[in-house]
Amino acid sequence: MSNETDKKKAAPHDESEDIEMLLNMYDHEEAPDKSSEGISDYDLQKTDYERRKKAKDFYVDIRDDEDFVPAYNGEVYFSDPPHRQEKVEDVPIAKGAASEKKKDKKIDYVDEIKHLTLIRTLTKTFGIVVPVLIAITVISLLSVTYIISSMNDVLALRRDTEPVTITLVNPTTTDEVIDMLSKNDLIESKLFCKVFAKISKFRDDTYVDGVYYLNRAMGLEKMLFTLKNTGINKDVITLTFPEGWTVDQVVAKLDKYGVCSKELLYDTINTTDFSAKYSFLKSVDNPQERYRVLEGYLFPDTYQFYLGETAPSVIERFLDNFKEKWTAEYSSKAEQLGMSVDDVITLASIIQGEAANTEQMKTISSILHNRLNNPVSYPLLQCDCTGTYLSKYVKENVSEAEYERLVKIYDTHACDGLSAGAICNPGDDAINAALTPLKTTYFFFQHDKRGDIYLASNDAEHELNKQKVWEVNNR
Protein backbone atom coordinates (compact mmCIF):
# COMPACT_ATOMS: atom_id res chain seq x y z
CA MET A 1 0.00 0.00 0.00
CA SER A 2 2.69 2.41 0.94
CA ASN A 3 4.28 1.93 -2.50
CA GLU A 4 1.01 2.66 -4.25
CA THR A 5 0.54 5.76 -2.08
CA ASP A 6 4.02 6.98 -2.94
CA LYS A 7 3.37 6.46 -6.61
CA LYS A 8 0.17 8.49 -6.34
CA LYS A 9 2.01 11.25 -4.56
CA ALA A 10 4.76 11.20 -7.13
CA ALA A 11 2.40 11.31 -10.11
CA PRO A 12 1.80 14.81 -11.51
CA HIS A 13 -1.51 16.34 -10.46
CA ASP A 14 -4.02 17.47 -13.10
CA GLU A 15 -5.83 20.59 -11.81
CA SER A 16 -8.53 20.25 -14.48
CA GLU A 17 -9.87 17.23 -12.50
CA ASP A 18 -10.37 19.48 -9.46
CA ILE A 19 -12.30 21.98 -11.51
CA GLU A 20 -14.49 19.28 -13.03
CA MET A 21 -15.15 17.82 -9.53
CA LEU A 22 -16.19 21.24 -8.22
CA LEU A 23 -18.60 21.83 -11.06
CA ASN A 24 -20.16 18.39 -10.59
CA MET A 25 -20.51 19.11 -6.93
CA TYR A 26 -22.48 22.24 -7.56
CA ASP A 27 -24.52 20.68 -10.31
CA HIS A 28 -25.35 17.43 -8.51
CA GLU A 29 -25.62 18.73 -4.94
CA GLU A 30 -28.70 17.08 -3.39
CA ALA A 31 -31.48 19.52 -2.83
CA PRO A 32 -33.25 19.39 0.62
CA ASP A 33 -36.17 17.04 0.80
CA LYS A 34 -39.42 18.84 0.33
CA SER A 35 -40.98 16.58 2.94
CA SER A 36 -38.47 17.69 5.56
CA GLU A 37 -39.96 19.42 8.50
CA GLY A 38 -40.01 23.20 8.52
CA ILE A 39 -38.88 23.67 4.89
CA SER A 40 -41.24 25.52 2.62
CA ASP A 41 -41.39 25.59 -1.16
CA TYR A 42 -39.86 29.05 -1.10
CA ASP A 43 -36.85 27.81 0.83
CA LEU A 44 -36.37 24.96 -1.58
CA GLN A 45 -36.48 27.27 -4.56
CA LYS A 46 -34.07 29.69 -2.87
CA THR A 47 -31.63 26.92 -2.07
CA ASP A 48 -31.82 25.60 -5.60
CA TYR A 49 -31.29 29.10 -7.00
CA GLU A 50 -28.21 29.76 -4.83
CA ARG A 51 -26.73 26.39 -5.81
CA ARG A 52 -27.16 27.05 -9.48
CA LYS A 53 -25.84 30.61 -9.12
CA LYS A 54 -22.66 29.33 -7.49
CA ALA A 55 -22.06 26.96 -10.39
CA LYS A 56 -22.79 29.69 -12.94
CA ASP A 57 -20.62 32.37 -11.38
CA PHE A 58 -17.71 30.07 -10.57
CA TYR A 59 -14.45 31.62 -11.94
CA VAL A 60 -11.02 30.05 -12.20
CA ASP A 61 -7.91 32.11 -13.02
CA ILE A 62 -5.35 29.84 -14.71
CA ARG A 63 -2.08 31.61 -15.66
CA ASP A 64 1.01 30.42 -17.44
CA ASP A 65 3.27 32.59 -15.28
CA GLU A 66 5.01 30.19 -12.94
CA ASP A 67 5.83 33.00 -10.48
CA PHE A 68 2.21 34.05 -10.09
CA VAL A 69 0.62 33.10 -6.75
CA PRO A 70 -3.10 33.89 -6.34
CA ALA A 71 -4.28 35.60 -3.16
CA TYR A 72 -5.83 33.24 -0.64
CA ASN A 73 -9.31 34.22 0.64
CA GLY A 74 -10.35 31.08 2.49
CA GLU A 75 -11.07 28.91 -0.49
CA VAL A 76 -10.92 25.13 -0.40
CA TYR A 77 -8.15 23.57 -2.57
CA PHE A 78 -8.04 20.00 -3.74
CA SER A 79 -4.37 20.26 -4.44
CA ASP A 80 -1.45 22.14 -2.93
CA PRO A 81 -2.56 25.58 -1.62
CA PRO A 82 -0.65 28.76 -2.55
CA HIS A 83 2.68 29.23 -0.78
CA ARG A 84 2.30 33.00 -0.45
CA GLN A 85 -0.91 34.58 0.76
CA GLU A 86 -1.93 38.12 0.09
CA LYS A 87 -4.97 39.64 1.64
CA VAL A 88 -7.12 41.27 -0.95
CA GLU A 89 -10.34 43.14 -0.60
CA ASP A 90 -13.51 41.32 -1.37
CA VAL A 91 -14.70 42.69 -4.65
CA PRO A 92 -18.10 41.50 -5.70
CA ILE A 93 -18.07 39.96 -9.12
CA ALA A 94 -20.82 41.52 -11.17
CA LYS A 95 -22.98 39.46 -13.42
CA GLY A 96 -21.35 38.78 -16.71
CA ALA A 97 -17.92 39.96 -15.43
CA ALA A 98 -16.15 37.13 -17.21
CA SER A 99 -17.73 38.02 -20.52
CA GLU A 100 -16.81 41.70 -19.98
CA LYS A 101 -13.20 40.70 -19.38
CA LYS A 102 -13.19 38.68 -22.57
CA LYS A 103 -14.68 41.63 -24.42
CA ASP A 104 -12.02 43.92 -22.97
CA LYS A 105 -9.33 41.48 -23.99
CA LYS A 106 -10.77 41.37 -27.52
CA ILE A 107 -10.77 45.18 -27.69
CA ASP A 108 -7.21 45.28 -26.39
CA TYR A 109 -6.20 42.73 -29.05
CA VAL A 110 -7.83 44.79 -31.84
CA ASP A 111 -6.11 47.93 -30.56
CA GLU A 112 -2.80 46.10 -30.50
CA ILE A 113 -3.35 44.91 -34.09
CA LYS A 114 -4.12 48.47 -35.18
CA HIS A 115 -1.05 49.71 -33.35
CA LEU A 116 1.18 47.08 -34.99
CA THR A 117 -0.36 47.82 -38.40
CA LEU A 118 0.35 51.51 -37.90
CA ILE A 119 3.93 50.74 -36.93
CA ARG A 120 4.39 48.50 -39.98
CA THR A 121 2.90 51.21 -42.26
CA LEU A 122 5.15 53.89 -40.80
CA THR A 123 8.17 51.62 -41.01
CA LYS A 124 7.42 50.79 -44.63
CA THR A 125 6.85 54.45 -45.45
CA PHE A 126 10.06 55.51 -43.76
CA GLY A 127 11.83 52.61 -45.48
CA ILE A 128 10.91 54.20 -48.84
CA VAL A 129 10.98 57.90 -47.98
CA VAL A 130 14.29 57.96 -46.12
CA PRO A 131 16.36 56.36 -48.92
CA VAL A 132 14.65 58.67 -51.43
CA LEU A 133 15.51 61.71 -49.31
CA ILE A 134 19.09 60.48 -48.94
CA ALA A 135 19.35 59.90 -52.70
CA ILE A 136 17.95 63.37 -53.45
CA THR A 137 20.41 64.91 -51.00
CA VAL A 138 23.38 63.06 -52.48
CA ILE A 139 22.34 63.93 -56.05
CA SER A 140 21.88 67.57 -55.05
CA LEU A 141 25.32 67.70 -53.46
CA LEU A 142 26.92 66.05 -56.49
CA SER A 143 25.08 68.43 -58.82
CA VAL A 144 26.20 71.47 -56.87
CA THR A 145 29.77 70.15 -56.78
CA TYR A 146 29.70 69.51 -60.54
CA ILE A 147 28.30 72.97 -61.28
CA ILE A 148 30.87 74.70 -59.08
CA SER A 149 33.72 72.64 -60.56
CA SER A 150 32.47 73.29 -64.10
CA MET A 151 32.12 77.03 -63.56
CA ASN A 152 35.59 77.07 -62.09
CA ASP A 153 36.94 75.83 -65.43
CA VAL A 154 36.04 79.31 -66.66
CA LEU A 155 36.69 81.35 -63.51
CA ALA A 156 39.86 79.42 -62.56
CA LEU A 157 39.67 80.35 -58.88
CA ARG A 158 42.39 78.94 -56.63
CA ARG A 159 43.87 76.71 -59.29
CA ASP A 160 47.51 75.75 -59.55
CA THR A 161 49.86 77.44 -61.98
CA GLU A 162 51.99 74.42 -62.81
CA PRO A 163 52.71 74.58 -66.56
CA VAL A 164 51.45 71.83 -68.85
CA THR A 165 52.94 71.37 -72.31
CA ILE A 166 50.33 71.15 -75.06
CA THR A 167 51.19 70.27 -78.65
CA LEU A 168 48.51 71.43 -81.06
CA VAL A 169 48.50 69.63 -84.42
CA ASN A 170 45.88 70.37 -87.08
CA PRO A 171 42.94 71.11 -84.77
CA THR A 172 39.73 71.50 -86.76
CA THR A 173 37.21 72.42 -84.07
CA THR A 174 37.03 74.00 -80.65
CA ASP A 175 35.58 70.72 -79.34
CA GLU A 176 38.79 68.93 -80.34
CA VAL A 177 40.86 71.55 -78.55
CA ILE A 178 38.70 71.19 -75.41
CA ASP A 179 39.10 67.39 -75.58
CA MET A 180 42.87 67.93 -75.56
CA LEU A 181 42.63 70.31 -72.58
CA SER A 182 40.54 67.73 -70.70
CA LYS A 183 42.98 64.93 -71.56
CA ASN A 184 45.78 66.99 -70.03
CA ASP A 185 43.73 67.72 -66.85
CA LEU A 186 43.55 71.46 -67.55
CA ILE A 187 39.75 71.45 -67.16
CA GLU A 188 37.32 69.38 -65.10
CA SER A 189 34.17 69.26 -67.26
CA LYS A 190 34.70 69.19 -70.99
CA LEU A 191 30.94 68.99 -71.64
CA PHE A 192 30.31 72.23 -69.76
CA CYS A 193 33.28 73.86 -71.49
CA LYS A 194 32.00 72.84 -74.92
CA VAL A 195 28.59 74.34 -74.16
CA PHE A 196 30.25 77.50 -72.86
CA ALA A 197 32.45 77.75 -75.98
CA LYS A 198 29.41 77.43 -78.26
CA ILE A 199 27.51 80.08 -76.32
CA SER A 200 30.59 82.32 -76.48
CA LYS A 201 30.84 81.62 -80.25
CA PHE A 202 34.48 80.56 -80.39
CA ARG A 203 35.46 80.08 -84.02
CA ASP A 204 36.94 76.78 -85.15
CA ASP A 205 39.30 78.03 -87.86
CA THR A 206 41.80 80.22 -86.07
CA TYR A 207 43.86 77.82 -83.96
CA VAL A 208 47.60 77.72 -84.57
CA ASP A 209 49.66 74.54 -84.57
CA GLY A 210 52.54 74.42 -82.14
CA VAL A 211 53.76 73.80 -78.61
CA TYR A 212 52.17 75.79 -75.78
CA TYR A 213 52.67 76.07 -72.05
CA LEU A 214 49.29 76.36 -70.32
CA ASN A 215 48.15 76.08 -66.71
CA ARG A 216 44.85 75.54 -64.90
CA ALA A 217 44.89 79.05 -63.43
CA MET A 218 44.46 80.55 -66.91
CA GLY A 219 40.84 79.46 -67.24
CA LEU A 220 39.15 78.15 -70.37
CA GLU A 221 38.81 81.47 -72.22
CA LYS A 222 42.44 82.49 -71.84
CA MET A 223 43.64 79.03 -72.84
CA LEU A 224 41.54 79.08 -76.02
CA PHE A 225 42.66 82.61 -76.85
CA THR A 226 46.28 81.61 -76.28
CA LEU A 227 45.91 78.73 -78.73
CA LYS A 228 44.34 80.91 -81.40
CA ASN A 229 45.60 84.44 -80.91
CA THR A 230 48.68 85.71 -82.73
CA GLY A 231 49.67 87.73 -79.73
CA ILE A 232 48.81 88.27 -76.07
CA ASN A 233 50.35 91.70 -75.60
CA LYS A 234 49.29 94.69 -77.67
CA ASP A 235 52.85 96.06 -77.69
CA VAL A 236 54.43 95.55 -81.12
CA ILE A 237 58.08 95.41 -82.06
CA THR A 238 59.66 95.47 -85.54
CA LEU A 239 62.64 93.20 -86.17
CA THR A 240 64.77 92.58 -89.28
CA PHE A 241 66.45 89.27 -90.02
CA PRO A 242 69.21 89.39 -92.69
CA GLU A 243 69.65 86.86 -95.48
CA GLY A 244 71.88 84.00 -94.49
CA TRP A 245 71.00 83.96 -90.78
CA THR A 246 70.60 80.54 -89.19
CA VAL A 247 67.65 79.33 -87.17
CA ASP A 248 69.71 79.69 -83.99
CA GLN A 249 70.45 83.33 -84.78
CA VAL A 250 66.78 84.05 -85.50
CA VAL A 251 65.64 82.38 -82.27
CA ALA A 252 68.23 84.24 -80.21
CA LYS A 253 67.03 87.61 -81.53
CA LEU A 254 63.37 86.82 -80.90
CA ASP A 255 64.21 85.80 -77.35
CA LYS A 256 66.38 88.87 -76.77
CA TYR A 257 63.66 91.33 -77.73
CA GLY A 258 60.89 89.64 -75.75
CA VAL A 259 58.88 88.28 -78.65
CA CYS A 260 59.03 84.67 -77.44
CA SER A 261 61.35 82.57 -75.32
CA LYS A 262 63.88 80.42 -77.13
CA GLU A 263 62.72 77.36 -75.17
CA LEU A 264 59.21 77.67 -76.56
CA LEU A 265 60.50 78.37 -80.05
CA TYR A 266 62.78 75.34 -80.09
CA ASP A 267 60.03 73.12 -78.67
CA THR A 268 57.71 74.27 -81.44
CA ILE A 269 60.31 73.81 -84.18
CA ASN A 270 61.37 70.36 -82.99
CA THR A 271 57.99 68.85 -82.20
CA THR A 272 55.47 70.45 -84.55
CA ASP A 273 54.85 69.08 -88.02
CA PHE A 274 54.10 72.16 -90.08
CA SER A 275 54.03 70.23 -93.35
CA ALA A 276 50.28 69.63 -93.08
CA LYS A 277 49.68 73.35 -93.41
CA TYR A 278 52.67 74.23 -95.58
CA SER A 279 52.95 71.79 -98.47
CA PHE A 280 56.44 72.96 -99.48
CA LEU A 281 57.78 71.31 -96.32
CA LYS A 282 56.63 67.90 -97.54
CA SER A 283 59.73 67.77 -99.74
CA VAL A 284 61.88 67.50 -96.59
CA ASP A 285 62.42 63.73 -96.67
CA ASN A 286 64.89 63.41 -93.78
CA PRO A 287 63.60 65.59 -90.91
CA GLN A 288 64.95 63.28 -88.21
CA GLU A 289 68.50 63.49 -89.56
CA ARG A 290 68.71 67.28 -89.61
CA TYR A 291 70.10 69.65 -87.05
CA ARG A 292 67.25 72.16 -87.49
CA VAL A 293 64.37 70.88 -89.58
CA LEU A 294 63.15 74.38 -90.48
CA GLU A 295 66.62 75.65 -91.42
CA GLY A 296 66.21 77.43 -94.76
CA TYR A 297 62.48 78.20 -94.34
CA LEU A 298 62.46 81.08 -91.84
CA PHE A 299 62.37 83.58 -94.63
CA PRO A 300 64.67 86.56 -93.99
CA ASP A 301 62.73 89.83 -93.92
CA THR A 302 61.46 92.61 -91.67
CA TYR A 303 58.60 91.56 -89.38
CA GLN A 304 56.34 93.02 -86.72
CA PHE A 305 55.71 90.87 -83.65
CA TYR A 306 53.71 91.21 -80.46
CA LEU A 307 55.73 91.13 -77.29
CA GLY A 308 55.00 87.82 -75.63
CA GLU A 309 53.63 86.32 -78.82
CA THR A 310 53.06 82.58 -78.96
CA ALA A 311 55.79 80.45 -80.53
CA PRO A 312 53.55 78.87 -83.19
CA SER A 313 52.31 82.21 -84.47
CA VAL A 314 55.91 83.53 -84.62
CA ILE A 315 57.12 80.53 -86.63
CA GLU A 316 54.11 80.69 -88.91
CA ARG A 317 54.85 84.34 -89.62
CA PHE A 318 58.12 83.24 -91.25
CA LEU A 319 56.55 80.28 -93.03
CA ASP A 320 53.68 82.38 -94.37
CA ASN A 321 56.23 84.76 -95.84
CA PHE A 322 58.15 81.90 -97.43
CA LYS A 323 54.91 80.56 -98.92
CA GLU A 324 54.23 83.95 -100.44
CA LYS A 325 57.74 84.27 -101.86
CA TRP A 326 57.81 80.76 -103.33
CA THR A 327 55.81 81.41 -106.47
CA ALA A 328 54.34 79.12 -109.09
CA GLU A 329 57.15 80.24 -111.37
CA TYR A 330 59.69 78.96 -108.86
CA SER A 331 57.91 75.60 -108.72
CA SER A 332 57.98 75.39 -112.52
CA LYS A 333 61.70 76.15 -112.70
CA ALA A 334 62.50 73.65 -109.97
CA GLU A 335 60.60 70.99 -111.85
CA GLN A 336 62.54 71.78 -115.04
CA LEU A 337 65.80 71.36 -113.15
CA GLY A 338 64.63 68.08 -111.67
CA MET A 339 64.89 69.48 -108.14
CA SER A 340 62.52 69.49 -105.19
CA VAL A 341 61.74 72.60 -103.17
CA ASP A 342 64.09 71.34 -100.46
CA ASP A 343 66.90 70.73 -102.97
CA VAL A 344 66.59 74.31 -104.24
CA ILE A 345 66.57 75.79 -100.71
CA THR A 346 69.59 73.70 -99.67
CA LEU A 347 71.50 74.81 -102.78
CA ALA A 348 70.37 78.41 -102.29
CA SER A 349 71.64 78.35 -98.66
CA ILE A 350 75.10 77.26 -99.90
CA ILE A 351 75.07 80.00 -102.56
CA GLN A 352 74.04 82.47 -99.84
CA GLY A 353 76.92 81.33 -97.70
CA GLU A 354 79.55 81.39 -100.48
CA ALA A 355 78.70 84.55 -102.44
CA ALA A 356 80.37 87.77 -101.38
CA ASN A 357 77.57 89.75 -103.02
CA THR A 358 74.41 89.34 -105.05
CA GLU A 359 76.24 89.69 -108.38
CA GLN A 360 78.29 86.55 -107.70
CA MET A 361 75.31 84.35 -106.87
CA LYS A 362 74.31 83.19 -110.34
CA THR A 363 77.93 82.47 -111.26
CA ILE A 364 78.43 80.37 -108.14
CA SER A 365 75.09 78.69 -108.84
CA SER A 366 76.41 77.78 -112.31
CA ILE A 367 79.55 76.17 -110.86
CA LEU A 368 77.57 74.16 -108.28
CA HIS A 369 75.06 72.99 -110.89
CA ASN A 370 77.97 71.94 -113.15
CA ARG A 371 79.45 69.82 -110.38
CA LEU A 372 76.09 68.34 -109.39
CA ASN A 373 75.52 67.36 -113.02
CA ASN A 374 78.94 65.64 -113.15
CA PRO A 375 78.95 63.51 -109.98
CA VAL A 376 81.51 61.03 -111.31
CA SER A 377 84.18 63.67 -111.92
CA TYR A 378 83.07 65.97 -109.10
CA PRO A 379 81.28 64.02 -106.39
CA LEU A 380 82.03 66.70 -103.76
CA LEU A 381 80.91 70.33 -103.87
CA GLN A 382 83.75 71.30 -101.49
CA CYS A 383 82.12 74.50 -100.22
CA ASP A 384 83.79 75.89 -97.08
CA CYS A 385 80.57 77.48 -95.77
CA THR A 386 79.12 74.06 -94.89
CA GLY A 387 82.03 73.29 -92.57
CA THR A 388 81.82 76.78 -91.05
CA TYR A 389 78.12 76.24 -90.29
CA LEU A 390 78.94 73.11 -88.34
CA SER A 391 81.85 74.50 -86.36
CA LYS A 392 80.27 77.90 -85.61
CA TYR A 393 76.59 77.13 -84.97
CA VAL A 394 76.21 73.40 -84.41
CA LYS A 395 79.18 72.02 -82.49
CA GLU A 396 78.52 73.80 -79.20
CA ASN A 397 74.90 72.59 -79.09
CA VAL A 398 75.37 68.85 -79.66
CA SER A 399 77.37 65.95 -78.28
CA GLU A 400 80.66 64.91 -79.85
CA ALA A 401 79.09 61.81 -81.34
CA GLU A 402 76.22 63.81 -82.80
CA TYR A 403 78.62 66.37 -84.20
CA GLU A 404 80.61 63.66 -85.97
CA ARG A 405 77.40 62.29 -87.44
CA LEU A 406 76.33 65.73 -88.71
CA VAL A 407 79.75 66.40 -90.27
CA LYS A 408 79.36 63.33 -92.43
CA ILE A 409 76.05 64.50 -93.89
CA TYR A 410 76.46 68.30 -93.87
CA ASP A 411 80.10 69.06 -94.71
CA THR A 412 80.38 69.09 -98.52
CA HIS A 413 84.07 68.22 -98.21
CA ALA A 414 82.91 64.90 -96.69
CA CYS A 415 79.53 64.11 -98.25
CA ASP A 416 78.57 63.61 -101.87
CA GLY A 417 76.35 66.18 -103.55
CA LEU A 418 74.20 68.53 -101.48
CA SER A 419 74.33 68.63 -97.70
CA ALA A 420 71.58 66.92 -95.70
CA GLY A 421 69.74 70.23 -95.40
CA ALA A 422 70.07 73.96 -95.64
CA ILE A 423 72.83 75.66 -93.65
CA CYS A 424 71.08 79.02 -93.36
CA ASN A 425 67.92 80.86 -94.41
CA PRO A 426 68.59 82.16 -97.93
CA GLY A 427 67.02 85.29 -99.32
CA ASP A 428 65.09 85.67 -102.53
CA ASP A 429 68.21 86.53 -104.57
CA ALA A 430 69.92 83.28 -103.59
CA ILE A 431 66.78 81.25 -104.29
CA ASN A 432 66.39 82.89 -107.68
CA ALA A 433 70.07 82.26 -108.44
CA ALA A 434 69.68 78.56 -107.55
CA LEU A 435 66.79 78.33 -110.01
CA THR A 436 68.39 80.36 -112.80
CA PRO A 437 72.14 79.65 -112.97
CA LEU A 438 74.35 81.14 -115.65
CA LYS A 439 75.61 78.93 -118.47
CA THR A 440 79.35 78.45 -117.81
CA THR A 441 82.09 75.82 -117.99
CA TYR A 442 83.51 76.58 -114.57
CA PHE A 443 83.92 73.93 -111.90
CA PHE A 444 86.00 75.88 -109.33
CA PHE A 445 85.90 79.23 -107.53
CA GLN A 446 87.58 80.96 -104.58
CA HIS A 447 87.74 84.39 -102.91
CA ASP A 448 90.43 86.65 -101.60
CA LYS A 449 90.09 88.71 -98.44
CA ARG A 450 88.44 91.55 -100.35
CA GLY A 451 85.68 89.25 -101.65
CA ASP A 452 86.87 89.12 -105.21
CA ILE A 453 86.06 85.83 -106.94
CA TYR A 454 88.48 83.66 -108.95
CA LEU A 455 87.02 81.14 -111.42
CA ALA A 456 88.54 78.01 -112.98
CA SER A 457 87.42 75.28 -115.37
CA ASN A 458 90.00 72.65 -114.28
CA ASP A 459 92.43 71.81 -111.51
CA ALA A 460 95.41 73.56 -113.16
CA GLU A 461 93.58 76.87 -113.39
CA HIS A 462 92.36 76.43 -109.86
CA GLU A 463 95.93 75.96 -108.54
CA LEU A 464 97.04 79.16 -110.28
CA ASN A 465 94.14 81.01 -108.68
CA LYS A 466 95.20 79.76 -105.27
CA GLN A 467 98.58 81.44 -105.77
CA LYS A 468 96.92 84.71 -106.77
CA VAL A 469 94.65 84.65 -103.74
CA TRP A 470 97.61 84.00 -101.45
CA GLU A 471 99.50 86.97 -102.85
CA VAL A 472 96.53 89.31 -102.39
CA ASN A 473 95.84 88.13 -98.90
CA ASN A 474 99.47 88.57 -97.86
CA ARG A 475 100.09 92.06 -99.21
Q: Are residues 342 and 319 in the same domain?
A: no
* Percentage of the chain exceeding pLDDT 70: 68
Q: Are residues 192 and 321 in the same domain?
A: yes
CA atoms of 279 and 212, how far apart (whole Å): 23
Q: Is residue 78 part of a domain?
A: yes
Contact 422, 339 (CB under 8 A): no
Q: Is residue 234 part of a domain?
A: yes
Query: Of the residues 274, 305, 325, which one is the last residue of a structural domain?
Result: 325
CA neighbor of 413 nearest in space, from 437, 441, 390, 442: 390
Q: Are residues 302 and 351 in the same domain?
A: no
CA atoms of 389 and 385, how far apart (whole Å): 6
Q: Are residues 361 and 256 in the same domain?
A: no
Q: Is residue 184 part of a domain?
A: yes
Q: Are residues 280 and 376 in the same domain?
A: no
Q: Are residues 303 and 347 in the same domain?
A: no
Domain that holds residue 30: 2-93
Report residue 172's pLDDT band, with 50, 70 and 90 as the boundaries: low
CA atoms of 266 and 251, how far apart (whole Å): 8
- Determine which helix (DSSP H) or strand (DSSP E) holds 2, and give its type and residue range: helix 2-10
Name the residue with higher pLDDT: 76 or 156. 156
Q: Are residues 170 and 318 in the same domain?
A: yes
Report residue 231's pLDDT band, with 50, 70 and 90 as the boundaries: very low
Q: Is residue 152 part of a domain?
A: no
Q: Is residue 124 part of a domain?
A: no
Query: Of the residues 300, 325, 350, which one is the last residue of a structural domain?
Result: 325
Name the residue with higher pLDDT: 415 or 217. 415
Q: Is residue 229 part of a domain?
A: yes
Q: How many domains are there within the chain?
A: 3
Q: Are residues 174 and 293 in the same domain?
A: yes
Query: Of the residues 63, 93, 123, which one is the last residue of a structural domain?
Result: 93
| Angle made by CA atoms 28, 32, 34, in degrees to the nearest 5 | 125
Q: Are residues 176 and 316 in the same domain?
A: yes
Q: Is residue 319 part of a domain?
A: yes
Residue 309 above 90 pLDDT?
Answer: no
CA atoms of 225 and 138, how far apart (whole Å): 37
Q: Are residues 379 and 417 in the same domain?
A: yes
Question: What would the mean pLDDT of 326-336 be, rounded to a whole number?
Answer: 96
Q: Are residues 294 and 195 in the same domain?
A: yes
Is this model's pTM higher than 0.85 or not? no
Q: Are residues 346 and 305 in the same domain?
A: no
Q: Is residue 106 part of a domain?
A: no
Least confident of 87-101, 142-156, 258-272, 298-312: 87-101
**What would the DSSP string read from start to end of 178-223?**
HHHHHHTTS-S-HHHHHHHHHHHT--SS----EEEEE-GGGHHHHH
